[in-house]
Amino acid sequence: MRWTVHVGSGRERAEIFANAQGLIVGADVSGTQRAKTLNILKEPELAAEAAAAFRDAIGTDRVLTRVGIDKKTVSFGTNIPDKSRIVTSSMPVTQTFTWDLNGLQRRLGSIDVPAQTGTPSPPSFGIGDVDWKILSKLQESAIAKADAPKSLVTHFGVAAATDQPGQPVLLWTIEVTDAEGETTRVTADMKGAITRVVLPQSRRPKIDWREPAALAGAIARISSVFGQNAKIASIVANDREARVTIEDPTHGGQPATFDFSADGVSRATISFSLEAMGPRFGVAELAALNEQKLAALEADALKTLGANRQAYLESVTIGAHPFVRQAGAHAIEVRVRDIPEDSARANYAWIVYDFNGRALDSSKF
């Protein structure tokens, strides 16, 4: 049982809810001017109020899997099982909440896809693990990093990032939208230090990873990102992307693929089993694969395979080759094609070298 108190004026209305003893337990202020013009992103201090409401209602246990802050609401995803049966699904369902000027409200549960598919569940954290008072600082830093005219923050998020090497790390994600509607994604640690900036596609530098300087630069980063003891299965580079497959110690040594970007690496959404097969090689063994060596191998492959026709560089693959076994893990395949663009009409040829640059085998047009 509850009391409902209706409050109204000529332009606005609200409902205040109280329990039988008269204690205020909720409100509906959606009919007020304040609610209609609410923009939490312009009043980031409201995030602290939302966090306090969640703490008071749910507690400080590590039950959160994500928090999102948008214009009108703050949303909370949890790992708390939802046993209400409101959501009819054979999959496990977890509780979700939102906060706005009406207070904290429980919403329809969220289907726990990882539990159903067998993939690891998102790492959880507590409401007290986050400093909710640094949003203004984050906002200023993110807009500065986006470096685009008339930019505005359009979303804040907090979750444990699993796309980077190593153990999951709790990070802020700030989305900054410019006047053209393009979004820059900025990540920051819990103290507000910017850790990464992902520009919109139109502003990202286009990298041809087959270029010896670009590929050598990516190779040189492997030791600092994955450590000197990393066991590498393969490195693949073409005109669109470069990726490395390693044994990931944080996942029991299982192979994991990471995509290179201009400023870092991120866990790939798609991996290829062929690139994870065969013997491994170590970081120290990459020292010989500098820009000059890669340039020489590419030039030799184009000259040799293009002796009777024009040849265009297709890709470079470093690691065990499925057909040329004598090099073991120390194989470098340089693949070429006979037309400028990759297409179904193209014919392909390749040469496999060892790390010393000695040609071992080839397949001609």
Q: What is the pLDDT of residues 342-363, one digit of tens each?
A: 888 999 999 999 999 999 999 9
Look up tokens 């369902």; give the residue.
93
CA–CA separation, 142 vs 140, rounded Å?
Answer: 6
| Cβ-contact 171, 187 below 8 angstroms | yes
Average pLDDT over residues 27-55: 92
Residue 89 has pLDDT above 80, yes or no: no
Condensed to tens digits (0 to 9), the pLDDT of residues 267-316 reads 998 889 999 999 999 999 999 999 999 999 999 999 999 887 899 999 99
- In order of 186, 196, 327, 358, the CA distances from 297 in angstroms are 38, 34, 16, 9
pLDDT at 109: 77
pLDDT bin (cut points 50, 70, 90) of residue 92 is: confident
Residue 183 has pLDDT above 60, yes or no: yes
CA–CA separation, 36 vs 11, rounded Å?
Answer: 12
Residue 182 has pLDDT above 90, yes or no: yes
Query: Global pTM?
Result: 0.81
Residue 88 has pLDDT above 90, yes or no: no
Cβ neighbours of 190 (radius 10 Å): 15
pLDDT at 113: 61
Of 61, 41, 59, 149, give the one whose Cα is nearest residue 104. Answer: 59
pLDDT at 162: 87
Residue 364 has pLDDT above 70, yes or no: yes
Residue 43 has pLDDT above 70, yes or no: yes
Q: Please, what is the average pLDDT of the chain?
A: 92
pLDDT bin (cut points 50, 70, 90) of residue 95 is: very high
Residue 114 has pLDDT above 70, yes or no: no
pLDDT at 112: 65
Cβ neighbours of 215 (radius 10 Å): 24
**CA angle 18-11-20, nearest 5°?**
10
The percentage of the chain sitting over the pLDDT mark of 70, rounded to a whole number, equals 96
| For the chain, domain boundaries | 1-37, 135-203, 205-365
Residue 75 has pLDDT above 80, yes or no: yes
CA–CA separation, 115 vs 122, rounded Å?
Answer: 10
Q: Write the class of the CATH domain 135-203.
A: alpha beta
pLDDT at 353: 97
Average pLDDT over residues 123-142: 96
Average pLDDT over residues 321-334: 95
- In order of 30, 79, 248, 352, 360, the CA distances from 105 in angstroms are 14, 16, 40, 62, 66
Residue 169 has pLDDT above 90, yes or no: yes
The percentage of the chain sitting over the pLDDT mark of 90, rounded to a whole number, equals 73
Cβ neighbours of 182 (radius 10 Å): 16
| Chain CA centroid to CA 343, Å | 30
Q: In this predicted structure, which of 59-68, 163-172, 345-354 has the lowest mean pLDDT?
A: 163-172
Look up tokens 């909370």; give the residue.
76
Look up tokens 């392909």; give the residue.
348
Enter the DSSP assignment of 244: E
| Cβ-contact 358, 330 below 8 angstroms | no
Condensed to tens digits (0 to 9), the pLDDT of residues 189-243 reads 999 999 999 999 899 889 999 999 999 999 999 999 999 999 999 999 999 999 9
pLDDT at 86: 62
Tokens of residue 359, six digits: 């040609």
